[in-house]
Structure 1
Amino acid sequence: MNIEQALNEALGLKTGSNVPLAEGLPATVGVLGGGRMGAGIAHGFLTRGAKVVVVERDAEAAQGARGRVESSVEASLERGAVAGTAGDYLERFATSTDYADFAFCDLVVEAVPEDAGLKAAALAAVEAQISPHAFLATNTSSLSVSGLAAGLARPELFLGLHFFNPVPASTLIEVVVAERTGEDTVAAARRWVEALGKTAVVVRDAPGFASSRLGVAIALEAMRMVEEGVASAEDIDNAMVLGYKHPTGPLKTTDIVGLDVRLGIAEYLYSTLGERFAPPQILRDKVANGELGRKTGRGFYDWP
């Protein structure tokens, strides 16, 4: 019995499936971190036929990750976004608390909280367990991918894959090319994105990349307008939705993303790109008061 067969048996993963593997997709994918983003990433690969293992810090967190992925798959079935039964997908899904279970993965995507030290340590720990030929990616929305690569033994197999929330509904993945990312790795990432049914935007590693830099710039200016009494949050958002055809306005998007997440990105961009990304006081105050957006019930809007 080889290592893949042994781990499949240990994790209860099924080798066959009623869902064919999409062309260009890695057969077995690991995700480190099963929060909202990690669960969404796992969902994306599962629904395209890959086997997926999510590794979490402890059994309770792993159980939470399983619940999020199961709910996401069931919601896709109810919407008719995927065909078959929940079992067709979940028979290829496992959770674990052991990094060694990444050993048989072709690709591992790190999706831990947006903290450079935490991510760097997690990536080094994952790299120590995976195959020398496996790819490694970070799902960061703003941190330096080249900086995270500095502690890795095989930086040519590492890059950024910036997924967007909610992952099942989003059609964009930002592929972030670090200083030492290999051309073959970038080409592979393009194939993965296409196989997931999404569109790749390839960017050079720079503070905030393209999407976060532009999105945060608009959101911060919208916050300043609320702070200055120029208009209400609703009217500012309506101006962008109706006037510029944004699907949601910058302030409602901030509530969905999380004000704490937006503040963290803004602080990083402020430190690297200067005063134009200085977080407005209204953002600092709301985070300090626990008004983090949809996840706490209140941000720039009230959420039931």
Structure 2
Amino acid sequence: MTAIRSVGVVGCGLMGAGIAEVCARAGKDVVVVESSPAAADAGRQRLEASLKRAESRGKIEAAAPVLARIQVVEQLETLADRELVIEAIVEDEVAKTELFRRLDGILTDPEAILASNTSSIPIMKLGVVTSRPEHVLGIHFFNPVPVLALVELVPSLLTSPAVTERARAFVQDDLGKQAIDCQDRAGFVVNALLIPFILSAIRMLESGFATAEDIDRGLVLGAAHPQGPLALADLIGLDTTKAVAESLYEEFKEPLYAAPPLLARMVDAGLLGRKSGRGFYTYS
């Protein structure tokens, strides 16, 4: 099994930057693609700030050598020579399928793996728009990527078992993460369990049953959760939470997956959680 040396990441938001960072920290040559000069600059600053924090806390010896292994560019064609490309763009099926079509025509290595960091969209829908569905799978990291150890591996019905095992070796042996295997169903393992829990907390708040603070305090102090479900939704992003809920509802048609009206209105208002400065809580 050939080790993966070169990695491409599409998107340098919270998830894309985290994926790029852990790959570079593992010694990989990383190219990150963003959609505009402003987004690329923001991505570089996000990477630099995160690696400097890691250096100051003794997590890495020095930030500079890791940063030197990462290029942030704006041209998707720069990924042509990559052995693995991980998509980490907005959680939107139309945008992701169009990106996979483009990447399929750009990658020159017939053995290159095309992976998605989607948290909810079935991998089959992404694989079938390419000419290499056997080389397409989900590699789903969790936020914050440098901290959380879990990765969900999600092959579709058409993914080659050899490709899945190559991805597993990359995730576990190279990145030092722990992989779990998931069926290609919306939400995979973690979000299929987590999102209904968060939606239930939002409905409880919406109904006036309890305050946000008391709901979260109850789960932290009464169930030993590290943070409450509403604070967690703010961390995930309310837009992402809503998008995952919609994917789950589309797949299973179960009422527990339907986004509550309060969540929809908050997303419409741009109250997205930590990334916008306000969600169920206000952040400075």
Aligned to 2:256: 276
Greater shift, 97-106 or 41-50, is seen at 97-106
Match in the other structure for 1:98? 75
Counterpart amino acid of residue 111 in structure 1: A
Three-state SS of the structure 1 residue aligned to 2:275 is coil
Residue 107 of structure 1 contacts residue 136 of structure 1 at CA under 8 Å; is this kept in 2?
yes
Q: Does residue 266 in structure 1 map to residue 267 in structure 2?
A: no
Instruction: Select the residue among 271, 278, 281 that pairs with 1:301.
Output: 281
| Aligned with 1:218 (options 192, 197, 203) | 197
The match for 1:60 is 38
Counterpart CA distance in 2 for 1:24 and 1:250 is 41
The letter for the 2-side match of 1:258 is G
Deviations 1:203-243 (A, max 9, x none): 01001111111110100001111112222212222222233
Task: Provide the identity percentage.
Answer: 41
Give 2:181's aligned amino acid: V
* Aligned position for 2:64: 87
Residues 4-41 of structure 1 show CA distances to partners (whole Å, capped at 9, x for unaligned) of xxxxxxxxxxxxxxxxxxx9862111001111111110
The one-character-per-residue Cα deviations of 1:53-105 (angstroms, maximum 9, x if unpaired) are: 0012222222222121111111111111111x222112211122222211221
Q: Is residue 199–residue 256 contact of structure 2 (8 Å, CA) maintained in 1? A: no
Cα pair 1:146 1:180 within 8 Å, conserved: yes
Distance in 2 (alpha carbons) for counterparts of 1:106 and 1:183 = 17
Does the residue aligned with 1:295 lie in a helix, a strand or coil? helix
Q: d(CA) in 2 for partners of 1:140 and 1:176? A: 10
- Out of 52, 56, 73, which is 2:51 matched to? 73
Matched, 1:162 2:130: no
**Superposition map of 1:189-204 within 5 A:** 189-194=167-172, 195-204=174-183
Give me the whole-angstrom Cα distance separating, in 1, the residues matched to 2:264 and 2:80.
42
Task: Give the one of 119, 139, 142 matched to 2:96.
Answer: 119
Q: Which runs of 5+ in 2 are unaligned?
A: none
Match status 1:289 vs 2:269: yes
Separation in 2, partners of 1:70, 1:27: 22
Structure 2 Cα separation of the partners of residues 176 and 46 of structure 1: 23
TM-score (ref. length: structure 1): 0.88
| Runs of 5+ consecutive residues of structure 1 not aligned to the other structure | 1-22
What SS is found at the alignment partner of 1:124? helix
Corresponding residue for residue 20 of structure 2: 42
- Whole-angstrom distance in 1 between the partners of 2:143 and 2:2: 23
**C-alpha distance in 1, partners of 2:119/2:58?**
30
CA contact (8 A) 2:120 2:187 kept: yes
Match of 1:13 in 2: none
Does the 8 Å contact 1:157/1:182 carry over to 2? yes
1:30 aligns with 2:8: yes
Partner of 2:154: 176
Between the aligned partners of 2:282 and 2:145, the Cα distance in structure 1 is: 23
Counterparts of 1:285 and 1:62, CA distance in 2 = 30
TM-score scaled by length of structure 2 = 0.94
Q: Distance in 2 between matches of 1:92 and 1:71?
A: 16
Indicate yes or no: 2:84 matched with 1:144.
no
Match of 1:135 among 94, 103, 113: 113
1-side partners of 2:220 and 2:168: how far apart?
30
Tell me whether 208-217 or 244-253 shows the greater mean CA deviation.
Answer: 244-253
Q: Which stretches of structure 1, 4 residues or longer, exceed 6 Å deviation after superposition?
A: none
Q: Which moved more, 1:31-40 or 1:225-234?
A: 225-234
Distance 1:151 1:263 in 2: 25
Q: Secondary structure at the match of 1:128?
A: helix
Asked whether the 8 Å contact 1:24–1:192 carries over to 2, the reply is no
| Count of residues in correspondence between the two structures | 281
Structure 2 residue identity aligned to 1:214: L
